[in-house]
């Protein structure tokens, strides 16, 4: 038997396909973790990025990125060519990172889908999540609620054509609510992998009095709160890792109010060793988001013994390895002291910080390794393909 062919569905590919755009957890997960580490002698991965919304692409276009075939499909009015392309490809399985707009547009193109969809729950946002997000007034987050997508997923589930895996256990309830799934629907736990630096020794590394923010500078992240915290804690150095993409002018106009804070450093987007070094040296990652799933930044931080101070507590990781401030709604200015107190609690209690740092590193090694991801994902994929063949 030849290799199984898996089509990975994602909206953006972290700077791939000539866009130059480098942002977002889904794109990072797709390019630097799944497409990099899943392919082997048994599994081939190709990426379906989106249809060409400009209506200029008359045939699917192929890119080779890091040795992986990445396709941008033809414009919507050329769907007959897209259908022909997908039939010729004859993928054994579709793997979707959540269900984004462009992934939905690709899948619904295919009449009578006869292959399983493996749906990796990453960040489902039912209506009550949007109710919280919409409490931010300084710079509201644009809603991308789309009932057509959620109904499409529900219909695939009802037809027995989708299986669910989830990167965090607390997301299961949200996925069932958003996609209107039966409470008995199986959602298998498959944590996101990260590349662990096994040469890093948290017990001997000399961390600095550095505190970092890691993520896009956007409304939902409420980066202005990180800046407000830095202003109140001049004894520590604060580093903001990330940049704006959507509505960047509005974001920048807010950040401009904080450019003169001497202990606050705007680093911009970083990758590779520079990013790793900044995380290694920091003692705390602060997360001020109005909404989060379980961000890869949390896992990266914990892998280097960098503790968390956050108003989000996904799978109780913040409360285990740092300080959970409690939920903070709205613009959040009145709750800045909660973050300040959490930071002081860890920074001024060195034995506790060191103890939690070691536990954090060990937790990541035990639960988020590339090796476990490869083994578990391969088992899931082969089982689904066998089930599909047995049913056909």
**pLDDT tens by residue, 221-232:** 999 999 999 999
* Token pair of 288 as six digits: 């001020």
pLDDT at 59: 80
Q: Are 264 and 212 in contact (CB under 8 A)?
A: no
Per DSSP, 75 falls in state P
Q: Is the pLDDT of residue 195 over 60?
A: yes
For 33, the token pair is 């973790």
Q: What percent of the chain has pLDDT over 70?
A: 94
* CATH topology assigned to domain 4-193+369-391: Rossmann fold (3.40.50)
The domain ranges of the chain are 4-193+369-391, 210-367
- Look at residues 176, 180, 173 and name the one whose alpha carbon lies nearest to residue 155: 180
Confidence label for 299 from pLDDT (cuts 50, 70 and 90): very high
In this prediction, residue 13 has a pLDDT band, given cuts at 50, 70 and 90, of confident
Q: Where are the alpha helices (DSSP H) in the chain?
A: 25-28, 35-37, 79-89, 101-107, 127-133, 147-158, 171-178, 223-232, 248-255, 272-281, 296-303, 317-320, 336-347, 350-367, 370-391
Q: What is the pLDDT of residue 112?
A: 65
**Average pLDDT value for the chain:** 92
In this structure, what are the phi and psi dihedrals at residue 188, rounded to the nearest 5 degrees? -80, 135
CA distance 339 to 346: 11
- Scored b (16 or more CB within 10 A) or e, 277-311 reads ebbbbbbbbbbbbbbbbbbbbbbbbbbbbbbbbbb
Spell out the residues 6+ positions from residue 189 whose beta carbon is closer than 8 angstroms to its own: 165, 166, 169
pLDDT greater than 50 at residue 129? yes
pLDDT at 20: 47
Q: Is 130 exposed, middle or buried (0-12, 13-18, 19+ CB in 10 A)?
A: middle
Q: What is the DSSP letter of 61?
A: E
What per-residue confidence (pLDDT) applies to 113?
A: 66
Q: Check if the beta carbon of residue 83 is closer than 8 Å to that of residue 51.
A: no
Does the 210-367 domain belong in CATH 3.40.50.2000?
Answer: yes
What's the distance, CA 78 to chain centroid? 31
Write the DSSP assignment of 345-380 as a string of letters.
HHHT-HHHHHHHHHHHHHHHHHHS-HHHHHHHHHHH
Taking 70 as the threshold, does the pLDDT of residue 289 lie above it? yes
pLDDT band for 16, please (50, 70, 90 cuts): low
Comparing 193 with 139, which gets the higher pLDDT?
193
pLDDT of residue 251: 83
Angle (CA) 224-264-346 rounded to 5° is 85
Looking at residues 111-138, what average pLDDT do you find?
A: 91
pTM: 0.94
pLDDT at residue 300 is higher than 90: yes
User: Matching CATH topology for 4-193+369-391 and 210-367?
Assistant: yes
* pLDDT(104) > 70: yes
């Amino acid at each position: 038997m030849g290799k199984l062919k898996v089509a990975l569905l994602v909206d953006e590919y972290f700077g791939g396909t000539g866009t130059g755009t480098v942002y977002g957890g889904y794109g990072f997960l797709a390019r630097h973790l799944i497409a990099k580490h899943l392919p082997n002698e048994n599994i081939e991965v190709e990426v379906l990025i989106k249809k060409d919304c400009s209506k200029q692409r008359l045939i699917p276009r192929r890119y080779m990125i890091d040795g992986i075939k990445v396709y941008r499909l033809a414009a919507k009015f050329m769907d007959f060519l897209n259908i022909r392309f997908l039939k010729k490809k004859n993928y054994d399985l579709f793997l979707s990172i959540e269900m984004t707009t462009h992934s939905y547009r690709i899948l619904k193109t295919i009449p009578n889908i006869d292959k399983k969809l493996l749906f990796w729950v990453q960040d489902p946002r039912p209506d009550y999540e949007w109710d919280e997000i919409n409490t931010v007034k300084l710079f509201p987050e644009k809603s991308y609620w789309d009932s057509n997508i959620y109904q499409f997923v529900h219909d695939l589930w009802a037809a027995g054509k989708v299986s669910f895996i989830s990167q965090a256990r607390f997301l299961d309830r949200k996925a069932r609510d958003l996609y209107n799934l039966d409470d008995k629907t199986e959602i298998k736990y498959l944590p996101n992998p990260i590349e662990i630096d096994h040469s890093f020794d948290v017990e001997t590394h000399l961390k600095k009095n550095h505190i970092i923010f890691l993520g896009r500078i956007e409304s939902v992240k409420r980066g202005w709160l990180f800046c407000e915290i830095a202003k109140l804690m001049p004894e520590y150095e604060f580093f903001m890792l990330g940049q704006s993409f959507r509505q960047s002018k509005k974001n920048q106009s807010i950040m401009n109010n904080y450019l003169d804070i001497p202990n606050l450093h705007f680093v911009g987007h970083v990758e590779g060793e520079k990013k790793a070094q900044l995380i290694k040296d920091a003692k705390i990652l602060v997360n001020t988001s109005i909404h989060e799933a379980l961000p890869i930044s949390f896992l990266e931080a914990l892998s280097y013994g960098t503790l968390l101070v956050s108003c989000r507590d996904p799978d109780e990781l913040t409360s285990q390895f740092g300080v959970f401030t409690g939920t903070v709604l709205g613009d959040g200015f009145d709750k800045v002291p909660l973050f300040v107190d959490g930071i002081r609690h860890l920074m001024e209690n060195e034995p506790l910080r060191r103890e939690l740092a070691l536990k954090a590193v060990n937790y990541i090694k035990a639960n988020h390794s590339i090796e476990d991801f490869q083994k578990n994902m391969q088992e899931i994929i082969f089982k689904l393909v066998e089930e599909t063949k047995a049913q056909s």
